[in-house]
Structure 1
Amino acid sequence: MREPEERRVMAEQAVPEGGPKPAPVVIKKYANRRLYNTATSAYVTLEHLSQMVKDKTDFVVYDAKTGDEITRSVLTQIIFEEESKGGQTLLPIPFLRQLISFYGDSLQGVVPQYLEMSMSQFARNQEQMRSYMQNAFGFNPFQQFETMGKQNMAMFEQAMRMFNPFRAGQPGSGQPGSGQPGSGQPGQPGQAAPMANGQEAPKPETPSASPATPQGEVVIDDLKRKLDELQNQLALLSKKP
């Protein structure tokens, strides 16, 4: 198929703004590593698939022999090809090392959701970032990266609190059942009941909070630490001439 015709078909398959999402294009990968676009009835390359991603054309890749979905591995191959071209890359070596270290770690199940939220937030702000970088003289983009990183962490903490309902009843949370001492309301902990002779009865002992840290808080603390490390690296880069 000629290039203009293929571009036209890809444009028709792109996700429309506010419209219903079309079915993803089916790509088949054969044993000879050739990729076949069933929508255009033509063989394509990884470069074509990369352009489809940029055009927001959704697609899935299946192994033509086994029928297994291999979209993830093909997208990873696209990233590998882009990173191997040299020049300006997207994945710094420290980030890759940290990402590899999470494989087999207890946080491995949390990292994909965190990265997806962070990238979605960055994508929503990309037009604002471009405007800042084009119009503001002397603008330091790393300051915006740091701000967006803090916003992403706040979103992640909010999501973690949804899976950790026990924090709502801890002292200082302000939620019902928190049992604040000295609240002054009858029948609550910290309020001494008067005795018949006018003397004040001894205050009941308030059970101390459990010293054990919930698993969700451990996850958040670890992610905060790693985010701080990333912010420090960005700060060092921003100081370079």
Structure 2
Amino acid sequence: MTSEKKPVTIKKYANRRLYNTGASAYVTLDDLAEMVKHGEDFVVYDAKSGDDITRSVLAQIIFEQEGKTGQNLLPIRFLRQLIRFYGDSMQMFVPSYLEFSIERLTKDSQKFREQFEAAMSANPLANPTRQIFQSMEEQARKNMAMFHEAFDMFSPFTAATGESGKAAPPAQSADELNEMRAQLAEMQKRIDSLVKKD
């Protein structure tokens, strides 16, 4: 007895065309991107094999969005680090960590927007984003701590020891935090340079 809306079924044909069975119409990757932005859920199946190919289609949408000028969300360092995790012993934990982090960011995005607007209206030519990035850094630190706590609850033995049975080095989270700090600092430099140009 649930009123939860079922995801729309999209079929992908051999000619790479996508068919929205709910709307009985062919759609593009841009159409699917708009559906995601409006909170419409969908599942993509290969029309011939029946395989669920939603993940690869969503990845393709991201690839297309990243190719558009000014649309880059994924920093090069992040992409390189993500590639390093493939085949790594930590690979199985990366999806849940990323999902956890993006959910927290989504929940806090309204707060960041309000802070940004307040900073811009108060002093548009000075350094309006420093406070926001400090908040984001603090939130990232909290997210990391919460994720590690949750991870420890579900796997108390692997959290305390590494694969070799020795105590796991605490440098992992410090490295990730330093990586985030470096990315935030780079973003701050770019914004500062834009403000100076104005």
- TM-score interval, normalised by the smaller of the two chains: 0.7 to 0.9
Aligned counterpart in structure 2 of residue 228 of structure 1, from 169, 174, 178: 178
Structure 2 gaps of 5+ residues are 123-127, 193-198
2:92 aligned counterpart, secondary structure: coil
Residue number in structure 2 paired with 1:48: 31
Q: Is 1:90 matched with 2:73?
A: yes
Q: Which residue does the alignment assign to 1:24?
A: 7
C-alpha distance in 2 between matches for 1:118 and 1:219:
22
**Aligned counterpart, 2:42:** 59
1:156 aligns with 2:106: no
Higher relative contact order (CA 8 A, sep 6+): 2
Moved more, 111-120 or 135-144: 135-144
Contact kept? 1:30, 1:64, Cα under 8 Å:
yes
- Give how far 1:155 is off: 1.1
Q: Which residue of 2 aligns with 1:68?
A: 51
Structure 2 CA distance for partners of 1:30 and 1:219, relative to 1, 3 Å: farther
1:42-72 deviation line (CA, Å, top 9, x unaligned): 0000011000000100100000000000000
* Structure-2 change in CA distance of 1:101 and 1:165 (3 Å): closer
CA distance 1:35–1:221, shift in 2 (3 Å): same
Q: Is contact 1:26-1:39 (8 Å) kept? A: yes
Gaps of at least 5 residues in structure 1 are: 1-18, 168-212
Distance 1:152 1:98 in 2: 18
Q: Following superposition of structure 1 onto structure 2, how do residues 1-241 of structure 1 map, counting pairs within 5 Å?
A: 20-136=3-119, 137=122, 138-140=128-130, 141-165=132-156, 214-215=161-162, 218=168, 221-240=171-190, 241=192
Identity %: 52
The number of residue pairs the alignment matches comes to 178
Q: Report the CA distance shift for 1:30/1:238 in structure 2 as closer, same or farther (over 3 A).
A: same
Rg larger in structure = 1
Q: CA deviation at 1:106?
A: 1.0
**Match of 2:102, as an amino acid?**
M
- Assess if the C-alpha contact under 8 Å between 1:25 and 1:58 holds in 2: yes
Ranges of 4+ aligned residues in structure 1 off by more than 4 Å: none
Q: State the AA in 1 paired with 2:182.
A: N
Q: CA RMSD in A?
A: 2.1
**Inter-CA distance 107–37: structure 2 relative to 1 (3 Å threshold):** same
Query: Quick one: distance in 2 between partners of 1:66 and 1:219?
Result: 45
Which residue of the partner structure matches residue 13 of structure 1?
none
- Quote the Cα distance in structure 1 between the aligned partners of 2:41 and 2:144: 28
* Residue 220 (structure 1) shift: 6.1
SS in 1 for 2:4: coil
Displacement of 1:221: 4.1
Give the Å deviation of 1:139: 3.6
Structure 1 distance, partners of 2:147, 2:49, is 38
Structure showing the higher helix proportion among its residues: 2
- Of 231-240 and 107-116, deviating more is 231-240
User: Aligned partner of 1:215: which letter?
Assistant: G
Output the CA distance in 2 between the equivalents of 1:80 and 1:54: 16
| CA distance in structure 1 between the aligned counterparts of 2:170 and 2:24, rounded to whole angstroms | 48
Looking at structure 1, the residues matched to 105 and 115 of structure 2 have their Cα atoms a distance apart, in angstroms, of: 14
1:153-206 Cα deviation digits (max 9, x unpaired): 121121122134469xxxxxxxxxxxxxxxxxxxxxxxxxxxxxxxxxxxxxxx
